Amino acid sequence: MAEKKVLVIDDSATIRKLVDTHLSPAGYAVTLAPTAEDGLQLAEEIRPDLILLDHQLPGTTGFEVCQQLAASSTLKSIPVVVSSTLRKKAYVEYADLDNVVDMLPKPYTENLLRTTVENAIETAAMIVESQTKGSAVPEIIGETSEPDLAGRFSVFGIREVVDFLNNGHKQGVLEVEAERLRLWIYLDRGRVQGISATGLQPDETQMVVERLPDSLQSLAEVLRLTIAGRGTAEFDGFVQLMDKRVLDPRLTAKLLRFQAAMLIGLAMKRPLKGYQFRATSNFPSLQRDLPLEVSLMGLLVEHALHCDLSEIQADDSALRYVRRAIRGQNLDRAGLSAKHMKVMNLLSEPRSVDELQKRLGWDRDEVRRVLSGFVAADILESRRDESEGKYIAYETNAVAAAQLRGGLKQASGKFVGKIVRDTLTLQLLVKRTKPDAVFFGIDTPQGCDAIREAYTSAREAFGDARKIVLAPAKVVDDPNVPWKKLLGFTPDRLLHSPYTCDTLIQTMNELDSIAVVDSPNEDAPQDASPTASAPAVVATDLETPVAETLS
């Protein structure tokens, strides 16, 4: 195998001699240049496999040299490793240069020099291609073997793939291809430990930087470095800055979480192509030493909180949000605040942004953002409520209730209905949904007692809902039935039973013509109160044909 050519551009004679001493015996053809001008000329002549470039040079900087190399059609693909004592400042400056594949912090040991050069040459061509074209680079994560799991996103989404791996507590790196963008999602212990990317355009990086919250603005230049997840020596130098307290680890952790949230949001807005997962414990230093321990749900909500408002669902009062039926989702809530979890607790029934804002007392945009994050995580779903009315049917008979539910599933109309069999659920739903009508199925004397007690103890919750009673024809057609004594209210309409779902829908269509007999705010009559004497009143009345029919 031909010798690999390494061009060293450094004004320090000591460094040039040191590199030559260590690399030449290892089989590298080392060429030395003391100035930038000499280095650029030699690069044209020998076309090296790698350039080891000093950051500080007489009359110029390594950054300017890299720009000149990148501007040349013949030199732009030569990978560059930059060496500097400035560390943090230098790392940030080179973050957006596609031909810089790694950093080598000074002073360095012989072992670090040889390892960095060896890794850079081995992966250089693919890294440069990845950073300029967005192609995949298995070597970036230390793997060249076939992936342990791979597929296309034609059926599955990112959420399903990440949940599958996290539910199985798989450790490794998931590569996601979204057009030119490549995400590297580091997974361990059932959570996301970090996300970096290749293929980001400069304007996209700038957009992410501009969305930084005020508390992280001081780390804007650090974000430019970490978001691209560059070479291992660069990571090592960055971690050393945290170890030496140059950077606050807690603040850096917040930065990396923000980075992960924005990257996952960017990917989910693009056409997704394929994914590959490789099981490995060999994470870059940054993800290894500063793991995020965050759920995908937490990242998606954070993205929604920080993205441009135009990226979330339009503010539409007709939209209703409700919890989805859970089928295999990872419900880990790591990274979510207790405040934002309150939204989930209110969405067992469909609610609008207006309702949630009123109940939570939050800024409207915050409500919308949190809802958008949960929708992206497939924990909530949104749908337009174009119904012209809501109703609840109270039916204690198990067979009749089952038939009604079956009818509701078949119905596709403008009304939303719920079937309940106990008074506690009835009271809760009336308070939560404020229906336009409540249907009461009556077939026993005990049923009248239960309805009366439920109604009188929650009279205000029934509001202006029409109260419609369904009972056997003999009872409905008897003008002497004391409904107010039996139920605590005078029905707004009486219907014959047995009945079907079509009966309820037909009545809802006629709702505007049904007047409310009892005002919810009027004082409760004495004979409708759930007192000890009330059952006696019912018992007396039930000695009539009404009692015989309901018995």
For residues 301 and 383, is the Cβ–Cβ distance under 8 A? Answer: no
CB atoms within 10 A of CB 107: 9
Q: Please tell me the least confidently modeled range out of 114-123, 286-295, 442-451, 521-530.
A: 521-530
Domains of the chain (ranges, CATH numbers): 5-133 (3.40.50.2300), 140-294 (no CATH), 315-384 (1.10.10), 389-550 (3.40.50.2300)
| pLDDT tens-digit map of 186-212 | 999 999 999 988 777 778 889 999 999
- pLDDT band, residue 182 (cuts 50/70/90): confident
For 536-547, the DSSP string reads: HHHHHHTTSHHH
Enumerate the H helices of 318-417 as residue ranges. 338-345, 353-360, 364-376, 398-410
Tokens representing 180 are: 């030119």
Whether residue 375 is predicted with pLDDT greater than 90 in this model: the reply is yes
pLDDT of residue 121: 83
Whether residue 30 is predicted with pLDDT greater than 90 in this model: the reply is yes
| Arithmetic mean of pLDDT, 511-531 | 54
Percent of the chain with pLDDT over 70: 82
For residues 279 and 155, is the Cβ–Cβ distance under 8 A? Answer: no
| pLDDT tens-digit map of 73-87 | 899 889 999 988 775
- Tally of helices (H runs) and strands (E runs) in the chain: 24, 19
- How is residue 294 annotated by DSSP? B
**Cα 90 to Cα 61, 74, 94, 344, 459, distances in angstroms:** 10, 26, 7, 45, 71
| pLDDT tens-digit map of 428-467 | 989 888 888 999 999 888 889 999 999 999 888 898 889 9
Query: Residue 229 CA to chain centroid, in angstroms?
Result: 22
For residues 289 and 147, give the distance between their C-alpha atoms in angstroms, rounded to a whole number: 25
pLDDT of residue 434: 84
Residues 6+ apart with CB under 8 A from 322: 347, 348, 349, 350, 351, 380, 381, 383
pLDDT of residue 431: 87
Average predicted confidence (pLDDT) for the chain: 83
Whether residue 246 is predicted with pLDDT greater than 60 in this model: the reply is no
pLDDT of residue 100: 86
For residues 374 and 371, give the distance between their C-alpha atoms in angstroms, rounded to a whole number: 5
| pLDDT tens-digit map of 143-173 | 445 789 999 998 888 999 999 999 999 999 9
pLDDT of residue 370: 96
Secondary structure of 424-474 as H, E, C letters: HHHHHHHHHHCCCEEEEECCCHHHHHHHHHHHHHCHHHHCCCEEEEEEEHH
Cis ω for the linkage preceding 498 (within 30 of 0)? yes
The CA-based dihedral angle spanning residues 340, 346, 350, 352, taken in that order and rounded to the nearest 10 degrees = -60
Q: Which residue has the tokens 């509001």?
A: 463
Percent of the chain with pLDDT over 90: 47
Closest alpha carbon to 149 in 247, 277, 259: 277
| Arithmetic mean of pLDDT, 117-121 | 84
pLDDT of residue 284: 79
pLDDT of residue 372: 96
Tokens representing 103 are: 């950093």
Whether residue 127 is predicted with pLDDT greater than 60 in this model: the reply is no
- pLDDT band, residue 542 (cuts 50/70/90): very low
Q: Please tell me the least confidently modeled range out of 12-26, 379-393, 531-545.
A: 531-545
pLDDT of residue 388: 66
| Arithmetic mean of pLDDT, 43-59 | 92
| pLDDT tens-digit map of 289-336 | 889 999 999 999 999 999 999 999 888 877 889 998 766 666 788 889
- pLDDT band, residue 546 (cuts 50/70/90): low
Q: Please tell me the least confidently modeled range out of 17-21, 102-106, 127-131, 346-350.
A: 127-131
- pLDDT band, residue 511 (cuts 50/70/90): confident
Residues 6+ apart with CB under 8 A from 255: 216, 219, 222, 223, 226
Tell me the chain's radius of gyration from C-alpha atoms: 35
| Arithmetic mean of pLDDT, 347-375 | 92
- Pick 327 or 69 by higher pLDDT: 69
The CA-based dihedral angle spanning residues 258, 292, 103, 47, taken in that order and rounded to the nearest 10 degrees = -80
Tokens representing 324 are: 């989805």
Whether residue 540 is predicted with pLDDT greater than 50 in this model: the reply is no
pLDDT of residue 229: 56
Whether residue 8 is predicted with pLDDT greater than 80 in this model: the reply is yes
- Pick 193 or 227 by higher pLDDT: 193
